[in-house]
Amino acid sequence: MAWEWGDGAGLIGGVAGVFGVFVAWASLSKAKEANKTAKQGLELSRTANEIADAAKNLSDQANALSREANQESVTSNELAHEANRIALGANRLAQEANDLFHQQELRGVEIHDVHWDGDWVRPGVYRLRNDGTHTAYDVSVTVTVDDEQKRVTSPQLCGGEHLTFEFPVARRQYAIEERERQEREEQARFSRFPPSVVPINFHYIEKRVYWKTELGNPKEHIDSHNMSGLGNFD
């Protein structure tokens, strides 16, 4: 039987058809695999996104906890500083109380030799002297002679030192009394019957002295005399 071109063409067409079917089937299989892979990739992507979201949530929680921890740390530090400040203040007060108690003990047994003595050194000039051996501190002295009053202060007055007070009224009064005394003496020299009693002029003198010892003990000395003179300078 003779081969004809039409038969060859049919054969080729059939083979081509079979090959096309095979290619189509292979393409369909690859498409299914690609689709499956795509679905798996999508699921993995979703899972990755969920994991990422969870990680973000955990990170946010960790940051929040970290901020809270930092805030707590700041608060704790502030409380610690405040507690330390209070402790230092308490220690300082305790030390001051101990120092005061110790000073009180020393003051109770302190020996302080200060004595005050006053006299007229010339008409109208009164001198108050510290006759003791110790120093008087923060000295304030007020001397009153009749109705005339003078006040003198001094940061300190050592033993043997003195303060001076000027009394102009007492000076004038002394001059009057001295002139009267001389007149009486002059009259007595020419009198056949001199007076048996010579009148005496009395004056009021008061001394008020306030001072402190070396350890800060407050002291005072107050005396007054109603029968004092204004000095004798013969």
Which pLDDT value is given to residue 72? 75
Which pLDDT value is given to residue 164? 98
Question: Residue 100: is its pLDDT beyond 70?
Answer: no
Which pLDDT value is given to residue 3? 45
Per CATH, the number for 116-228 is 2.60.40
Task: Pull the structure tokens for residue 125.
Answer: 């000039």
Identify the residue with better confidence: 86 or 191. 86
Instruction: Please give the mean pLDDT across all residues of the chain.
Output: 80
Count of beta carbons in the 10 Å neighbourhood of residue 204 = 13
Contact 220, 209 (CB under 8 A): yes
Contact 134, 113 (CB under 8 A): yes
Q: How confident is the model at residue 200 (pLDDT cuts 50, 70, 90)?
A: confident
Q: How many CA atoms lie within 13 A of 140 on its CB side?
A: 6
Contact 170, 144 (CB under 8 A): no
Average pLDDT over residues 183-203: 73
Which pLDDT value is given to residue 181? 87
**What pTM value is reported for the model?**
0.55
What is the 3-class SS of the chain, one letter each residue?
CCCCHHHHHHHHHHHHHHHHHHHHHHHHHHHHHHHHHHHHHHHHHHHHHHHHHHHHHHHHHHHHHHHHHHHHHHHHHHHHHHHHHHHHHHHHHHHHHHHHHHHHHHHHCCCCCCCEEEEEEECCEEEEEECCCCCEEEEEEEEEECCEEEEEEEEEECCCCEEEEECHHHHHHHHHHHHHHHHHHHHHHHCCCCCCCCCCCCEEEEEEEEEECCCCCEEEEEEEEEEECCCCCC
CA distance 126 to 116: 13
Question: What are phi and psi for residue 120, nearest 5 degrees?
Answer: -85, 130
Question: Residue 172: is its pLDDT beyond 60?
Answer: yes
Question: Residue 13: is its pLDDT beyond 60?
Answer: no
CA distance 125 to 164: 7
* pLDDT digits 0-9 by tens, 112-154: 999 999 999 999 999 999 999 999 999 999 999 999 999 999 9
* pLDDT digits 0-9 by tens, 62-91: 788 778 777 877 787 888 888 888 888 888
CA distance 82 to 193: 96
Place of tokens 């203040």: 89
Which pLDDT value is given to residue 218? 95
